[in-house]
Amino acid sequence: MAIKANPTTRFKVEDQDPYFDYPADTEIGYHGGRLGFANGGSSSFDVAETPILGPVFRFFGNTQLGPIHMGVMGWIAFICGGAAIFFWLFGMAMLVSYDPIKFAKNFFVLHVDPAPAHYMLWGFGGGLEEGGLWMITTILLTTGLYAWWFRIWSRARANGLKPYLAYGFASALFLYTAIYWVRPMLIGNWSEAPPHGFKGVLEWTNNISFRYGNFYYNPFHMQVIFCALGSTLLLSAHGATIWATAKYGSHEELEEIHEPGTGTERAQMFWRWTIGFNANAYSIHVWAFGFAFLFGVVGCIGITLTGTFIPDWPQWAQDASIIPPQNPPPNVYVPNPITNM
């Protein structure tokens, strides 16, 4: 064996898989299925082995809170996320002079706004009340989300899994980053970003649709809706199929993918006889992952184009001849292509 197995490793892979081959892992850039360090993948940095920071980082990097693995990125994610929530609530409380009853009454209405439009790209605006708190909250939130991404990526690696969940979460981060960072910077105005608060987010969603015509004519918005509804349909169809055939063991998917039994066969026959074709136990999850992934990617494209390259979606749809012109053209005689009359 090229790499010595560590006793702290949860899985003694070399004992279980006679075909396991360590050098193949180094070929694709990973060390025994683990990322970047030799101690079994419990931390994100080799700094855990250093003399001074080592004990500190081993404290943070090797702890688990209950069943939850923390790790450096976990601590960053939880602390930044908690701080973001604190500053958000602090900003909302400031608006009602820290009155707890008013705060509770207006909890769903209050929101922390980004800097007003005249500050342009100066994100901290005129101080805490005028965009500063929004910027602090957003920076913390973004740091937390990106740390969370790195956390699920490194946890997948540490468990010897390909980080598909991180790929999928990256799609959601594309959408988030486009909305909160890329688009405001492309337009050159932080006031284009959504505020933090329940009603504020709903109103931003409502208003961005109006400000750029009507989002129903945004073809990427159409595709996002298609992906959301299609994902719900796929989730329902897949879940129901497996639930219906679970008494034949089809829910043990990781076995059934490699060795389809009668449960998977019945599930496949159901869809073949119903819609004429069927996925298999593996490919249905490619469909699933693809639909969920496209949701974020297509949404990212649609929101980034809005107000930067496309100022008016109904006008775009009219130019593309997918809606009738709002002002009818002069009444000229046009023959019907079928009857030629």
Partner 1 sequence: MSELAHYVEVELVPGSRESRVPGGRTLKEIEADLKKPGKTLLGAITQAPGESDPFDVWLGPFYMGVFGLVGFVAAVCGAIFYLYEVVFHGPYLSYFSNFIAGSIIPPPPEAGLSFMVGPGNQGFVWLWVVGFATTAFICWLLREVEICNKLEIGYHVPISFGVVVSAWMTLQIFRPVLMGRWAEGFTLGVLPHLDWINLFGYRYFNFYFNIFHCLGITGLWTSTMVLGLHGSAILSGSQSRYGDEIDRVHQFWYDIVGYSIGELGIHKLATLLAAAAVLVSNLCVLFSGWIVMDWVSFWNWWVDMPLWVGM
Residues 252-271 close enough to bind partner 1 by CB under 8 A: 252-270
Q: How far apart are CA 224 and CA 262, in angstroms?
A: 36
With a CB cutoff of 8 Å and minimum separation 6, the contacts of 130 are 115, 116, 119
Interface positions, 278-307, toward partner 1 (CB under 8 A): 280, 282, 285-293, 295
13 forms part of the interface with partner 1 (CB under 8 A): yes
Considering only 39, 62, 143, 159, the residue that binds partner 1 (CB under 8 A) is: 159
Interface positions, 110-139, toward partner 1 (CB under 8 A): none
Considering only 23, 29, 51, 324, the residue that binds partner 1 (CB under 8 A) is: 324
4 forms part of the interface with partner 1 (CB under 8 A): no
Per residue, the 3-state secondary structure of 263-300, as one string, reads HHHHHHHHHHHHHCCCCCCCHHHHHHHHHHHHHHHHHH
With a CB cutoff of 8 Å and minimum separation 6, the contacts of 329 are none
The radius of gyration of the chain's CA atoms, rounded to the nearest angstrom, is 26
Residue 118 or 247 with smaller CB distance to partner 1: 247
187 forms part of the interface with partner 1 (CB under 8 A): no
Q: Is 43 left (phi over 0), alpha (psi -120 to 50) or beta?
A: beta
Interface positions, 46-105, toward partner 1 (CB under 8 A): 64-69, 101-102, 104-105
Residue 6 or 280 with smaller CB distance to partner 1: 280
Interface positions, 18-47, toward partner 1 (CB under 8 A): 19-20, 33
Cβ contact 217:313 at 8 Å: yes
Q: How many CB atoms lie within 10 A of CB 228?
A: 14
Give me the least distance between CB of 303 and partner 1, in Å please.
15
Number of chain residues interacting with partner 1 (CB under 8 A): 112
Give the DSSP H or E segment for 69.
Answer: strand 68-69
**Torsion from C-alpha of 218, 223, 226, 231, nearest 10 degrees:** -140
Interface positions, 198-217, toward partner 1 (CB under 8 A): 199, 202-203, 205-206, 214, 216-217
Give me the least distance between CB of 313 and partner 1, in Å please.
11
Residue 51 or 326 with smaller CB distance to partner 1: 326
